[in-house]
Amino acid sequence: MIDFSPAEKSVATEQITRPSLSYWQDAWQRLKKNTRAIISLYIIVFLAFFTILGPFVWQVDPALQDLNQVSQAPALPKQALLSGAYEQWQRIVIQDFPAEPDAYREQVDAPESLRLIDIATTQGIRLAWNPVEGAGGYNIYRNERYPEGFNDLGLPLGSTYAGNEIGYEDRLSLEPFTYYYSVVPTDGFDEYEVYSVLTVTPQLTITIDEAKARNLVSDTATPGDVVFLEFHPLGTDYLGRDMLARLMEGARVSLFIGIFAPFFFVLFGIAYGGFAGYFGGRLDAVLMRFADFVVALPFLLFMILFKIAFGVGPGESGIIPMLIALVLLSWPATARLVRGQVLQIREQGYIEAARLLGGRDYYLIFRHIIPNTMGVILVTLTFAVPAAIFTEAFLSFIGMGVVPPTPSWGSMCNEGVKTMLSHPHELIFPAVLISITVLAFNLLGDGLTEALDSRLRSRE
């Protein structure tokens, strides 16, 4: 007799050796393997800190103008000389010298011993020279390089109209650079072709009252002291405003639009697409046809039209109208995507099962359908952020978005483009920030697509 003893059931093979993972845990594990996406995630977190906490760490008013340091490239803190209040310049007139020459001369000598009176500061440079025999006046020129001849004297600053008035004060937007002053004697009207040159490098100065007003010095400071001016780690813009503070302020606008516009239009798209997809039929056809029309609208033209329609003309900031316009024009893409997903999921077995068990429509939608579209939606959201940031930057760039004095990265680029050749840092910093932000969101989106794509998962 054959004894049929049951085969021993091996318990060990039935055991699941690895902990079970939910969809999101699995996706997170995949994302962690993607170095580029993780670096992008860190960048985004850093940007969030930069925007939200930055202004608390770097407490500089983004609208404050530092006129001593206009369009300054990133540099270490600068020193400046404290000076007293400005004192009126007394004209230098020599009494025992004729104001007008007795007779016209063909040729005169160049002015001798052209010299500085007091020390040269950015508050004013005071020149004096010896009177020239036969001159009826003097013209004063300023150049930023050594003059190469009589036709290269530079900027005409002013004239004196007497042969015995032998001094001049230059207060015309002085910077701590080296200047070359030339003095040309005239006969009262026309110049003689001789000149003397003086090289002057003024010291950066700030009046004591202004320094006190800007909290740079204590009350005990006296003229002649050396103080440190405000520190601008990223330099200043063309109005002397701190770039770092403006970038932080501008990040608020750019990221506000960049985050909230996609959030709202994706939300609306989910509702619209979910509704159309779930109920289907004629309603679906009508709703989707309407979405098709909205897609066909020329996007940026309508952004601008919307802004005008909201009564926000050029020259006014319209962050909220911009947000609304973005939402109103961008939702159809998400709606289409969600609808497609819903149409697929609707036919799945588990929906049928849930319905058989008595699940109502809203339960099915919120418990089963929407959570299952979340992956796709998340990816859309990540790619929508850079698009929205681009749109904001574009609108601000052409002057239809945020306008001065509110900074945004786009409008800062617009201002920077104008001074691009002489002060490139004003363009580079906002441009780099826009690019990095968009890059980070794009790479994160790529990473999320790979991590959440179920087709890729089943392939492994």
Partner 1 sequence: MLIYTLKRLVAGIITVWFIATATFIAMHQVPGDPLMNDKAVSDEIRQNLEQRYGLDKPVSQQYLIFLRNMLPPDPDFGISFTQQNRRVNDIIKDHFPVSAILGLLAITFATLGGILFGALTAIYRNRLPDFIIMFLVILGISVPSFVFAALGQLLLVNVNALIGYSLIPVAGWGTVMHMLMPSLVLGLGTMALLTRLMRSSMLEVVNEDYIKTARAKGLSPIRIFFKHQLRNAILPVITILGPQIAAITTGGFVVEYVFAIPGLGRYFIQAVQQLDYTVIMGTTVFYGAFLVLMVITVDVLYGFIDPRVRLQ
| Binding residues vs partner 1 (CB under 8 A) | 292-293, 296-302, 304-306, 308-311, 313-314, 386, 390, 393-394, 397-400, 410, 413-414, 416-417, 420-421, 424, 427, 431, 434-436, 438-439, 442-443
DSSP conformational letter for 77: P
Smaller CB distance to partner 1: residue 162 or 434?
A: 434
Q: Least CB distance from residue 380 to partner 1, whole Å? A: 16
Residues 74/233, Cβ–Cβ less than 8 Å: yes
What sign does the dihedral 206-207-212-218 (CA atoms) show? positive
Q: Which is nearer to partner 1, 47 or 365 (CB)?
A: 47
Residue 255 Cβ vs partner 1, minimum distance, rounded to whole Å: 15
d(CA 318, CA 307): 7
Strand order across the beta sheet in which 155-160 lies? 155-160, 137-143, 179-186, 196-200
Q: Considering the complex, what minimum distance in angstroms separates the CB of residue 318 from partner 1?
A: 13
DSSP class of residue 117? E
How far is C-alpha 172 from the geometric centre of its chain's CA atoms? Answer: 30
Crossing angle of helices 409-418 and 243-279, rounded to 10°: 130
Q: Assess whether the previous peptide bond of 101 is cis (omega < 30° from 0).
A: no
Instruction: Give burial (CB, 10 Å; 0-12/13-18/19+) of 113.
Output: exposed
Q: Which is nearer to partner 1, 23 or 299 (CB)?
A: 299
The residue (of 328 and 374) whose beta carbon lies closer to partner 1 is 328
Which CB sits closer to partner 1, 369 or 387?
387
Alpha-carbon distance of 153 to 158, in angstroms, equals 13
Query: What's the min distance (Å) between Cβ of 407 and partner 1?
Result: 16
Shortest distance, position 270 Cβ to partner 1, whole Å = 23
Q: How far is the CB of 434 from partner 1 (least distance, A)?
A: 6
Distance CA 212, CA 214 (A): 5
**Residue of 148, 113, 145, 154 whose CA lies nearest to 131:** 113
Output the smallest distance, CB 441 to partner 1, in A: 9
Instruction: Identify the H or E element spanning 451.
Output: helix 425-452
Question: In terms of CB distance, is 71 or 442 closer to partner 1?
Answer: 442
Provide the minimum distance between the beta carbon of 214 and partner 1 in the complex, in angstroms, as a whole number.
33
Of 158 and 313, nearer to partner 1 (C-beta) is 313
| Residue among 200 and 413 whose Cβ is closer to partner 1 | 413
| CA gap 308, 285 in Å, rounded | 32
- How far is it between the farthest Cα atoms of the chain? 153
